[in-house]
Amino acid sequence: MNIHEYQAKEILNAYDIPVPRGRVALTSDQVERAAKMMGGRCVVKAQIYAGGRGKAGGVQLVHHPEQAQELGKELFGRRLVTPQTGPEGLKVRRILVEEAVEISREFYLSITLDRNSSRYCLIASAEGGVEIEEVARRSPEKIHKLTVDPFTGLRPFQARKIALALGLAGGICEDCVQLILNLYKLCQEKDCSLVEINPLVVTKAGWLLAMDAKINFDDNALFRHLEYPDMLDYSQLDPLEITASKFDLSYIKLQGSIGCMVNGAGLAMATLDVLKEFGGEPANFLDVGGGATREKVAEAFKIILQDPDVRGVFVNIFGGIMRCDVIAHGIIEAASEVNCTLPIVVRMDGSQVEEGKQLLAGSGLNVQTADSLGDGAARIVAMLG
């Protein structure tokens, strides 16, 4: 789960990690007032669930409150497109106004889950800032990594090693050690899958400051933090994703034209691969999970049909826990309810498969059934012509 930069900074602050003074604004008048509070010269930062805002004009230094207000007017209601948002961008509904800081050096610092070692991994670089992806590509030796043993936790000597690798010395090095230890504590206690400070800066006045912050919470730990769902900004999510999560379905939007309904993440991956192999482009995939009911299948099907990019639907379900006749009933119910005339290919296998196929054949829908994954993929691609 994602949260905004300003929310991430509130959490950093609670763990004694210094952040710039700032205010969140919901209107351009509030941007102006916040800018006055910061003394006129300030940084205006669009809050979206994506990075790369700086280069897209979403982070700008302004010199007067009126200038801040003008920029606020321009940013609110705009969809900000960055390399991390996809072509449609994300709507700006909140703006963070912060005191401007004179930066002397910019570092990169993050803690993330390393899925290979199943451990938290600390990543740091003395060349932080908006070019970090480029640094990682061109000079990977400038990125320092350290995995943390969950039994011992992050030890001060390890944090010091990282601070020294960043080229820090003396008092500020010790400040950085404490900051890294605090960040690790936060990461663990808040069940984060990512905490990233980019840039972590040394100011001209000689202080360490987290200028940007990104936090992702581990979705599997949400039940331990009942306050997290209230932090969500729904304007940043795909409305279909929100509907899907209400029905406990996982929906992922993609760029093509074929809607995919599958059961199980592994089967979803295989389905996308085989579709591509046959020249099809998935518009999305919706995982109904194991043991779904007829109603759940119907909801899933309706969600897929609401995606305006969908020109055909490919259902690939391995019955076993799920019965194929239940799936067929769900599809027929949903497709009839929304008068769906789009081509549909259903590949199912497992219990009651013949009953399922007969139901579909007699449904009057524009539907074909398939016996194998490859056969199904070929059919839906052919039906779309």
**Least Cβ distance, residue 91 to ligand GDP (angstroms):** 16
d(CA 72, CA 30): 9
Q: Segment 15-44, which members bind ligand GDP (CB under 6 A)?
A: 43
198 binds Mn ion (CB under 5 A): yes
Question: Is 337 part of any known ligand binding site?
Answer: no
Which of 22, 51, 65, 356 is the binder for ligand GDP (CB under 6 A)?
A: 51
Task: Give the position of tokens 């779904």.
Answer: 292
Q: At 2, is the secondary structure helix, strand, or coil?
A: strand
CA of 223: how far to CAs of 192, 228, 230, in Å?
13, 9, 13
Here's the x/- map for Mn ion, 205-244, by CB under 5 A: it reads as -------x--------------------------------
User: How is the chain split among helix, strand and coil, in percent rounded to 5?
Assistant: 40, 25, 35
Treating both helix axes as pointing N-terminal to C-terminal, what angle do 5-14 and 170-189 enclose, rounded to 10 degrees? 110
Peptide bond between residue 140 and the one before it cis (omega within 30 degrees of 0): no
Q: Which is nearer to Mn ion, 130 or 267 (CB)?
A: 130
212 annotated to a ligand binding site: yes
Round to whole Å and give the CA distance between 208 and 129: 14
Judged by CB under 6 A, the chain residues 155 through 214 that form the site for ligand GDP are 198-199, 211-212
Instruction: Select the binding partner of residue 211 from Mn ion, ligand GDP, none (C-beta < 5 to 8 A, by kind).
Output: ligand GDP
280-309 positions binding ligand GDP, by CB under 6 A? none
DSSP 299-361: HHHHHHHHSTT-SEEEEEEE-SSS-HHHHHHHHHHHHHHTT--S-EEEEEESTTHHHHHHHHH
Beta strands in 115-226 (DSSP E): 119-125, 143-147, 192-203, 208-210, 214-217
Q: Which amino acid is at 215?
A: I
Nearer to Mn ion, 82 or 352 (CB): 82
- Known binding residue 220? Answer is no
Task: Based on the shown chain and the rule CB under 6 A, indicate whether residue 52 belongs to the binding site for ligand GDP.
Answer: yes
Residue whose CB is less far from Mn ion, 127 or 212: 212
Q: Find all residues with CB under 8 Å of 329, minimum gap 6, and list them.
A: 294, 297, 359
Part of the chain binding ligand GDP (CB under 6 A), chosen from 30-38, 54-62, 247-255, 298-306: 54-62
The stretch among 100-108, 139-147, 149-157, 254-262 that binds ligand GDP (CB under 6 A) is 100-108
Decide whether 122 or 326 has the Cβ nearer to Mn ion: 122
Sheet containing strand 94-99, strands side by side: 22-25, 94-99, 42-47, 59-62
Residue 268 · residue 275 · CB < 8 Å:
no
Which is closer to ligand GDP, CB of 106 or CB of 287? Answer: 106
Annotated binding-site residue? 263: yes
185 is in an annotated binding site: no
Pairing of strands 79-80, 208-210: unpaired
Q: How far apart are CA 365 and CA 369, in angstroms?
A: 11
Q: Which residues are catalytic?
A: 108, 196
Of 10, 15, 33, 54, which one interacts with ligand GDP (CB under 6 A)? Answer: 54
Rounded to an integer, what distance in angstroms lies between the CA atom of residue 83 and that of residue 89? 9
101 is known to lie in a ligand binding site: yes
**x-marked contacts with ligand GDP along 120-159 as a string, rule CB under 6 A:** ---------xx-----------------------------
Of 53-61, 72-80, 148-156, 173-181: span binding ligand GDP (CB under 6 A) = 53-61
Listed in sequence order, the residues at least 6 apart from 292 whose beta carbon sits closer than 8 Å to its beta carbon are 263, 300, 322, 326, 330
The answer on whether 13 is annotated among ligand-binding residues is: no
Q: Specify binding-site residues for Mg(2+).
A: 198, 212
Site residues, Mn ion (CB under 5 A)? 198, 212
Q: Specify binding-site residues for substrate.
A: 263, 320-322
Q: Specify binding-site residues.
A: 45, 52-54, 98, 101, 106, 198, 212, 263, 320-322
